[in-house]
A and B are shown apart, each in its own frame.
Chain A
Amino acid sequence: MLSYVLRRIGVSILILIAASFIMYILVAWARDPLSDLYASNSPNRDALIAQRIDWLDLNQPVVVRWFNWLIGAAQCVVPFGGCNLGVNIQNQPVAILLGRAMGATLQLVTASTIFAIVLGILVGIVSALRQYSAVDYTFTFASFFFYSLPSFVMGVLLKVFVALGFNDWLQDPVFSWASIIIFSLVSGLLWQAIIGGPRNRRLIVAVASIVTTGAMLYYMSVTDWFRDPALGPVIAPLLIAAFGAAMVLMTAGPRARFAWRTAGATAIVLIVSYFVLQPLLPAMNGWGIVLLVLLAIGVGVLAGWLLGEHDKGQAMRIGGLTGLLGMGVIILDQFMQRWNDYLTNPRVGGRPIATVGSQTPNLQGDFWIQGIDTFTHLLLPTISLMLISFAGYTRYARGGMLETLNQDYIRTARAKGLPERTVVGRHAFRNSLIPITTIVAADVGGLIGGAIITERIFAFSGMGSLFISGLNAGDPNPVMAYFVVVAVFAITFNFLADLSYSVLDPRVRSK
């Protein structure tokens, strides 16, 4: 095992060096970094050219420049070795630019990747369980469609329809009766198809979801909810309790008393803390929130450990998830209470969903206002990125699930009378994880590379724009810095995926 790991690392380093050489030569060949100066007619042109040649060592042959760059970059691996990734054509150190770009990119892509993985796998599983049903065909077609939609088309459509449309609608946020009826019918159709079962059950599900959706939309419409939203002291506790119940029903089933006790205890603690925290929350900052979330998870896990009886692991999972989701409700409620302050802020002017950039310039406000501002700026790029990678996950999860559902051990599990929830969750899903791992690892590894096109459409200055602007100017060092980070992440995650196979499936041995 150890020799396998060492061999892989050694080979990876050699591959990285060779690829960096090819990349450096290609960039040098693609564009001349002096071309903008040759075209300029400023009086001190020659001095500027000489200066840039000096900054970038352009008098040296390209191989020598690559070698110098490699030595500088290699120092980044040595602790306290002084990281030197060179300078860009404005003589700014690339290492600093890179740090800034990585921060912005992680902010952009983290949420979309998490949502895409969770939603994609869920939809894939539902699709596989309802194979050849209307819902399967709908999801399959939707995933094909999003898979075929180039990100720049998606970005422009989102900007025009979602951002402008929503902002216009927000001036008078009322649903017409026609749209309430259409939304309710669609949700009824969708839920009955997903939940399935005999005709009676489908009918009940459909009617229930039509009535709930209709009532919700009507309530939101008459109370001007989209301008001044809140969950309030009735809905928030109910929502926390509902999350607890959902966790129990999904993982342990309705007859597991210990699970009900765990989720109930966690939910009660959270509901009490909802009321206790109300006066304290507005003064909180980011670290306070992180602490609260960790505390909530801790309470849930503790409840699971104390009340878990024979299945402590599952109870702790249920408790932890209930704590996380419940604290999410509390924080969401606080954000909603501040939404109207944000909306009426003169810098925002009642048009909240932004189409460019990562923040509103000169916006004054506390943690909550800034949080909403980040949310409104990241919403569209996140949706765009999510829909694109969502398609791939859905197809993989569906394929993997179908493959495992046809195995003998699934038939055995059903034959010995296990509930369908256990068969799907424990026996089928866990075994379908291997093919999903490959694509998740590849995507998470590629995450730091950012989304070159999405970043350009939404004028977001992250890794993608570092690369694009560097390449356009023929500026080798930013492009190489981008490449090194992306390649190191890709190799590392590919390696982790290979190692994780032997954890997920003990029949596979890494050697």
Chain B
Amino acid sequence: MTTPIDPAQEPSGAPHAQGPTVLAGDEKGLSQGRLIFRRFVSNKIAVISVFIFLIVIGFAASASGVFGIPGWWKHDYTTLYPPVDGGRPTLTLWPFSLGDHPFGQNNVGKDYFAMTMRGIVNSSYVMFIIGLTGAFIGVVVGAIAGYYRGWVDAVLMRITDIVIVIPVIVIGAVVGTAVGGLGPVALALFLGFVVWTGIARLVRAEFLSLREREFVEAARVAGASDLRIIFKHILPNAVGVIIVSTTLLIAAAIILETALSFLGFGIRSPEVSLGLLISANESAFQTRPWLFWWPAAFIVLLSLLVNFVGDGLRDAFDPRQKRVIFRRVKDLPADAAIVDSQGVVTDVPVGPLTTAGGDTTGEGLSGEERRNP
């Protein structure tokens, strides 16, 4: 449907939940972080996506200017100019020239290049603020609930359930109606208070299992405070889940922002956003198609890039899906080793649904099941 997929439903990237992985000879003896970085870098699509993403955002930001620094583009996104050639785009690729209005002009004569660049900047502002605010609140709530359990957990998770019951686009529309006039940053902050629930549930599930591990007990015996255990000992072990779900949240946030702006509940004129540009020019498709194509192309591009990066990160942190197909074991290099979830080298892998003790894990189940295993 139109609601972005809840990150809570994405397969968990919990390191403890990993099934057996195959290490090639040159991967033995590397640290976890090093391995993850290598796996990510070896995913060409994800790396290229990172670069293109940075280039697009950097180009848009430098053209329209950010944080009060003026950009290099001569036109302003609010000023009206006399229409040139019916507002057609003046961009030519060969010989390359930008012309006076590279993306054309809209029906009242505003420079569309300036508007689109400003729209990209606003949309990416909003998506990062939504993503980071949501992730921060989610991590704090999830960490406290998972670490302290008991009534703290019950209260926090019931609050999470209350927010989850309301579809994101619905509560987003209501929030957007109320605060959309305050500008993109305020809108993004408020939307961040809506989208944290998925991460909170994931982080909580992660904390519930990590807090039973020996290293937490060791830290407690050594006299570490609760805050130190949460932030220094447990959180670094849950960082995979957090990074992956934050990236996916950012990808969902760009769609959420553009959808809300499209419906008129998000960023409002005279500010521009990519969704707002499409909404304003949807009916002009037959007469001035470029007014639709530029913002549409950038929305799809940005969202696609962030999704590729998120998927690359997930594969790097949680290579379960890249595991070897055992029919092909004989094709592996001779020095490859199969490492199971406990870090033991085996040739008979342990299935992810059973732990070493023979109990079933919560893997693949909903949050409710994880709560009452």
Contact = CB atoms under 8 A, between A and B. Distances in A.
A447 interface: yes
B2 A452 contact: yes
Contacts, number: 171
B303 A483 contact: no
Contacts of B372: 511
Contact of B365 (A145, A439, A447, A508): A508
Contact of B2 (A388, A501, A505, A508): A388
B175 interface: yes
B323 A406 contact: yes
A498 B177 contact: no
Interface in B116-150: none
Contacts of A388: 1-2
User: Taking chain B's interface residues, is the majority helix, strand, or loop, or is none over half, making it mixed?
Assistant: helix
Given A403-B320, A435-B364, A471-B174, A144 B299 contact: no
Interface stretch (A147-155, A185-193, A323-331): A147-155
B263 A452 contact: yes
B259 A152 contact: yes
Contacts of B3: 446, 449
B264 A472 contact: yes
Contacts of B27: none
Contacts of B320: 403
Interface string A495-511: 00110010001011011
A438 B165 contact: no
B279 interface: yes
B158 A160 contact: no
Residue from the set A19, A152, A414 with the largest chain B CB neighbour count within 10 Å: A152
Contacts of B364: 434-435
B365 A454 contact: no
B171 A152 contact: no
Nearest to A144: B307
Contacts of A147: 307
Given A148-B251, A399-B11, A156 B161 contact: no
Interface string A14-29: 1110110011001101
A347 interface: no
Nearest to A405: B325
Nearest to A482: B170
Interface in B1-56: 1-3, 5-6, 9, 11, 19
B174 A30 contact: yes
B279 A131 contact: no
Interface string B291-326: 010001001100110011001000000001101111
B366 to A, nearest CB: 6
B175 A439 contact: no
A18 B360 CA distance: 34
Interface stretch (A62-70, A290-298, A484-492): A484-492
A153 B278 contact: yes
Interface residues of B, number: 65
Contact of B300 (A148, A505, A507): A148
Nearest to B308: A144
B369 A160 contact: no
B329 to A, nearest CB: 10
A152 B177 contact: no
A462 to B, nearest CB: 13
B278 A152 contact: yes
B255 interface: yes
B304 A442 contact: no
A468 B260 CA distance: 11
Interface of A: 8, 11, 14-16, 18-19, 22-23, 26-27, 29-31, 109, 131, 144-145, 147-153, 156, 160, 385, 388-389, 392, 399, 402-403, 405-408, 411, 414, 434-435, 438-439, 442-443, 446-447, 449, 451-454, 456-457, 467-468, 471-472, 479, 482-483, 486-487, 490-491, 494, 497-498, 501, 505, 507-508, 510-511
15 contacts: A27-B174, A30-B174, A131-B325, A147-B307, A148-B251, A148-B307, A149-B300, A439-B9, A442-B9, A446-B1, A452-B173, A471-B177, A486-B170, A490-B167, A501-B369
Given A18-B162, A487-B166, 19 more contacts: A11-B158, A19-B165, A23-B174, A27-B174, A148-B303, A151-B259, A152-B258, A152-B279, A153-B296, A156-B282, A156-B292, A407-B351, A414-B327, A446-B3, A449-B1, A451-B2, A456-B263, A457-B282, A486-B167
Interface of B: 1-3, 5-6, 9, 11, 19, 158, 161-163, 165-167, 169-171, 173-175, 177-178, 251, 255, 258-259, 262-265, 275, 278-279, 282, 285-286, 292, 296, 299-300, 303-304, 307-308, 311, 320-321, 323-327, 348-349, 351-353, 360, 364-366, 368-369, 372
